[in-house]
Amino acid sequence: MIAMLTITIITLICATSLYVISQDSTATTQTTAWQQALAGAEAAVDHGINALNTGVWTNVTGNNDNWYTVTGSLPTSKPRGGSTANAVPGNDNYNYYFPPSLSLQGEACNSVSMWVTIDNANLPLDTNGNQAYRIRGTGQVGAPGPRRVSNQKMDNDLRKISLIYDRLSGAAVTGGQPMATRRIEVVVVPTAQSMWVRGLLAQHQIQMSGGGWIDSFDSSSGFKSTNGLYDVTKRQSHGDIATNDSVSADLKTFSDLRNTYVYGSIQYSGPAIKNITNVQGTVSTPFATDIPIPADPSWASGTYTTVAAGNPGTLNPGTKSHPALYKMTGNFTVPGGNVLNIPAINPGTDNNYVTLWVKGSFTISGSGYVNQGANVHVTYYLDGDVTVSGSAFLQAGTAYASNNQMIAVGTGNTTPTLTVSGSGNYIGTIWAPIYGITVSGTANLSGAFIGNNINISGGASVHYDEALKNLIEGNSTGNFAFASWFEDNSDPARGIIY
């Protein structure tokens, strides 16, 4: 009797232990599956934002996987049917996409499936006439184990694991396996951001040496500039630097800031930047941004004036609505003792605009220079190498960086270069994302500069004009930003819809 009683007690203890262990294992598996499903939902949302930002709707990953568009309202379960999408959805349709499954390792499932839908939800246009969009990302993970709830009631109420019926569609779960499904809904709004939010931006390495520095000023503020010009006594500390990869394009040199003061912060990816002792702001990694690549103008015949190679002598501007357009098929050269005059046709106003497109190289040497009138806006499109020396650019009156834009396209040149040397000042922006930029001598550059590799030496300094943050016309990056984010825990199968 004693033996039988002992065996019975031990059996009950073992059964209880097995029950507790089994319930804990179920809870652990379901909890893990629940978290994995969230990762899938967030990844699906990322795919939606990427499609809006890039405008790529077909052959998304190179494996002929496409977005599809369907007329009608959003479904409660997986979307089906439709035709290949080629644009953002309109008022009466939505786009959907099945991204590749995520492979995970853990205590639950090793694969996460997902889908994402985009529609405009009949949201109103913003003040600039741009449309906001609603993105719904859903992640779904099988929850290994029996079709039963755990002994943690609060966990069961929170996670809503679909044991028998899919809570989104009301249909039986696929294969009879319990399923964890999570859905995120976000609203994204269009934003336009100036490319010129920092002093130096490079695709690859940045090198500065020779005792120069980078700092900032604000030409739009009398407290941060003098008559709109850089004043070292009013120095600001927003001369930021950023690079997508701190190694040079040829993998031979690394970013280095020896003997250079940086009155600002640094963001970078790749190997650590050398000699950052004199950085006055923060240093952070990683960093990544899409640098827009410029293209040559697409001017229609008869809208521009063709000028001969060399020095045109004088370029007369037009107005902002009808700028004067000039195209040079050869090399542009202003040698020593020569001047290119760009006078104001509307003196005392800001309505003087001219664009010069140079198909060949661009060279200003010796004592040659460009004499730019007050309040004249000049844009250069440059296809060849750029070489500027001496006091190459003179801007009469108050000189603003927004009035002088150099867009180096580099058409047909695999390794174009842009070289600035001498003791002159350049006030403007340089957009040259595939160019190797070299600045030497004692020049002072005021504005903002984008290049492939950037090398500044000889004591040359850079002064970032903070007023350029507002310059988005023509040179801006489009993006979508989150306006709202929430997890949709509705349960349509039980009549619970948010």
Q: How high is the pLDDT of residue 60?
A: 85
* Strands, E assignment, 297-385: 305-307, 324-328, 332-334, 339-342, 352-358, 362-364, 369-372, 376-382
Specify whether 182 is located in the same domain as 315.
no
**CA separation for the pair 462, 444 (Å, rounded):** 6
Q: How high is the pLDDT of residue 306?
A: 93
Closest CA to 51 of 93, 90, 88: 88
pLDDT, one tens digit per residue, over 375-415 is 889 999 999 999 888 667 766 556 788 888 999 998 877 78
Specify whether 189 is located in the same domain as 232.
no
Provide the 3-class DSSP secondary structure of residue 386. strand
Q: How high is the pLDDT of residue 378?
A: 92
118 near 89, Cβ under 8 Å?
Answer: yes
81 in any annotated domain: yes
Instruction: Name the pLDDT band for 78 (thresholds 50, 70, 90).
Output: confident
Average pLDDT, stretch 467-492? Answer: 72
Residues 6+ apart with CB under 8 A from 164: 147, 172, 173, 176
22 in any annotated domain: no
Higher pLDDT, 448 or 104: 448
Q: How high is the pLDDT of residue 96?
A: 96
244 in any annotated domain: yes
202-216, 348-362, 400-414, 474-488: range with lowest mean pLDDT: 474-488
Specify whether 238 is located in the same domain as 112.
no
Q: How high is the pLDDT of residue 398?
A: 61
pLDDT surpasses 80 at 140: yes
Average pLDDT, stretch 90-98? Answer: 92
Q: How high is the pLDDT of residue 22?
A: 65
Q: How high is the pLDDT of residue 124?
A: 86
Q: How high is the pLDDT of residue 158?
A: 65
Q: How high is the pLDDT of residue 391?
A: 67
pLDDT surpasses 70 at 242: yes
Average pLDDT, stretch 129-146? Answer: 84
Q: How high is the pLDDT of residue 439?
A: 87
Q: How high is the pLDDT of residue 24?
A: 64
Specify whether 204 is located in the same domain as 290.
yes
- Mean pLDDT (the chain, rounded): 83
**CA separation for the pair 371, 365 (Å, rounded):** 14
Specify whether 486 is located in the same domain as 444.
no
Enclosing domain of residue 206: 196-473
Q: How high is the pLDDT of residue 338?
A: 87
Q: How high is the pLDDT of residue 233?
A: 93
Q: How high is the pLDDT of residue 106?
A: 61
Q: How high is the pLDDT of residue 94?
A: 95
Specify whether 38 is located in the same domain as 147.
yes
Residues 6+ apart with CB under 8 A from 230: 217, 444, 446, 463, 465
42-46, 166-170, 328-332, 434-438: range with lowest mean pLDDT: 166-170
Cα torsion through 157, 161, 166, 167, rounded to 10? 20
116 in any annotated domain: yes
Average pLDDT, stretch 173-177? Answer: 70
372 in any annotated domain: yes
Average pLDDT, stretch 88-112? Answer: 83
Specify whether 444 is located in the same domain as 302.
yes
Provide the percentage of residues in the chain whose pLDDT is more than 90.
Answer: 28
Specify whether 146 is located in the same domain as 204.
no
How many domains are there within the chain? 2
Average pLDDT, stretch 313-335? Answer: 90
Q: How high is the pLDDT of residue 77?
A: 81
Report strand pairing: 376-382 vs 404-408. Answer: parallel
Average pLDDT, stretch 11-38? Answer: 74
pLDDT, one tens digit per residue, over 248-263 is 877 778 888 888 889 9
pLDDT surpasses 90 at 475: no
Closest CA to 464 of 476, 451, 449, 475: 449
Query: Which of 91-100, 154-163, 388-397, 486-495 has the largest mean confidence?
Result: 91-100
Average pLDDT, stretch 452-466? Answer: 89
**Amino acid at position 250, single letter:** D
61-65, 121-125, 130-134, 362-366: range with lowest mean pLDDT: 61-65
Q: How high is the pLDDT of residue 157?
A: 65
* Strands, E assignment, 40-154: 68-71, 83-84, 93-97, 102-103, 111-119, 133-142
Specify whether 261 is located in the same domain as 348.
yes
Specify whether 220 is located in the same domain as 158.
no
pLDDT surpasses 60 at 121: yes
219 near 448, Cβ under 8 Å?
Answer: no
pLDDT surpasses 70 at 130: yes
Provide the 3-class DSSP secondary structure of residue 91. coil
245 in any annotated domain: yes
Specify whether 335 is located in the same domain as 435.
yes
2 in any annotated domain: no
Specify whether 220 is located in the same domain as 96.
no
14 in any annotated domain: no
Average pLDDT, stretch 443-470? Answer: 88
pLDDT surpasses 70 at 141: yes
Q: How high is the pLDDT of residue 452?
A: 92
